[in-house]
Amino acid sequence: MTSWLRSAWGRLRTGWPLVAQVTLAATASWFVASRLLGGGDNDSGPFFAPAAALIVLAQSRGVRLRKAVQVLIGIAVGALTGEVAIEALGARSTAAIFVVVLVAVGLSVAAGAAGVVRNQLTMSALFLVAVVPPGNQEVAPTRFYDALIGGSIALLISQIAVGRSPLAPLETEGRQAFTELSGVVDGIRQALRRHDEQTAQAVFDRARQLDSRTEALRRAVLVAEENLRLAPWDRHSRPRIQAVRAAVDHVDYAVRNIRTLARLTVTVTRLPDPVPTQLGTALTALHELTTCAAAVLVAVVAGDRDTADQHVDRAGVIAVDTARAMTPLLRHEQPLPVSTMIGQLRMAVLDLLRSAGADRPEVLDAIDEALDLPPVWRQR
């Protein structure tokens, strides 16, 4: 019981901003709709104002604005469907229930609407037909206004915490993604240095979790874009978001290549011969390159172009040093897993360079020249 209470307290301490947002948004929505706009005059009260606020805040950051619009569309179409059914079949009749559910669900499926829109459309129609007393159909437009109030207030309150730093999610998730990535690279180096299969397997298991960090970074891009849509005065920050969006795909490629490196490490540690020291040197340089790419992303998000350019230049130097560390390995025949690791290292270097915007032609040429690759294989 004590352990559960500690866990519950930890979750509450982490999630208190959401608790505060939901409580404040629902209460404010009810107050505005009932006290200021007179929504409490109908039999149901302005119930759908706080309900809409709860629905909007239940969505993931990054899609709340779109979901709010979808909820309002669903409510409007549902209310219209309910009114037409009542005029044709009467309120609180089995035939009306059948028709509004059939039409509402059919329309939402035909339009390819998400579940939240389908539910709102259907519930709006059902509410008018089955709940609202006959002769009180003015509730239909009132419900739409209530939902508009609730959704708007929810979006406004959700923005209060990020008003001063709308791009903060990008920096946070970018740091975490690269920190985890560099940790895996260092773990690979340690496993090879110790020639320890158990350590290599643990690193591979860790590498298999890297996709979650990439997805979190993608979501952070969506969150930042939504923040700027709701804060148009900060539109000058949009190019920074686009730069990070372009980098995320290359980070994803680097994750895949480094995960393959981790898998190969398990195989290499099973070989009887010790791992060449040059491979460890190359991995040390790759770890430094990962840190440098992270610094570029953070500087770009902060709008510090001079610092970003300095790290871009540094990334190019490190990338060439990584290739030069691998060059001696290519002059002698290596076991197949080691040769494959060299190829994966090269691809990981190129992906990290591209994520940092440091993939200049002279840098790519210097890498392939250091590896003594024929022209047909260069820059691929």
130-186 per-position pLDDT tens digit: 776 655 555 556 666 777 788 788 877 776 655 556 777 888 888 999 999 999 999
Q: Are residues 327 and 297 in the same domain?
A: yes
Q: Are residues 196 and 270 in the same domain?
A: yes
Residue 65 in any domain: the answer is yes
The whole-number pLDDT of residue 25 equals: 84
Helices (H) and strands (E) in the chain, counts: 14, 0
Q: What is the separation of C-alpha 11 from the centre of its chain, rounded to a whole number of angstroms?
A: 21
Q: Are residues 154 and 173 in the same domain?
A: no
Name the more confident of 314 and 169: 314
Q: Are residues 251 and 298 in the same domain?
A: yes
CATH code, 350: 1.20.58.220
Q: Are residues 139 and 177 in the same domain?
A: no
How many structural domains is the chain composed of?
2
Q: Are residues 222 and 92 in the same domain?
A: no
Q: Are residues 97 and 181 in the same domain?
A: no
Q: Is the pLDDT of residue 279 over 50?
A: yes
| Torsional sign, CA 277, 282, 285, 286 | negative
Q: What is the rounded distance in angstroms from the CA atom of residue 189 to the CA atom of residue 210?
A: 17
Q: Are residues 40 and 149 in the same domain?
A: yes
Q: What's the pLDDT tens digit per position in 238-274? A: 888 888 888 999 999 999 999 999 999 999 999 888 8
Q: Are residues 199 and 141 in the same domain?
A: no
Q: At what angle do helices 94-110 and 64-89 cross, to 10 degrees?
A: 140
Residue 227 in any domain: the answer is yes
- The domain containing residue 78 runs over which residues? 18-160
Residue 75 in any domain: the answer is yes
Q: What is the rounded distance in angstroms from the CA atom of residue 277 to the CA atom of residue 258?
A: 19
Residue 13 in any domain: the answer is no
* DSSP 8-state secondary structure symbol assigned to residue 165: -
CA distances in angstroms from 121 to 89, 113, 148, 375, listed in the order given: 19, 10, 15, 60
* Percent over 90 (pLDDT), the chain: 21
Neighbouring CB atoms inside 10 A of 300's CB total 26
- CA atoms lying within 13 Å on the CB side of residue 218: 10
pTM above the 0.85 mark?
Answer: no
Contact 273, 338 (CB under 8 A): no
Q: Which of 109, 127, 160 is the last residue of a domain?
A: 160
Q: Which of 110, 139, 160 is the last residue of a domain?
A: 160
Neighbouring CB atoms inside 10 A of 286's CB total 28
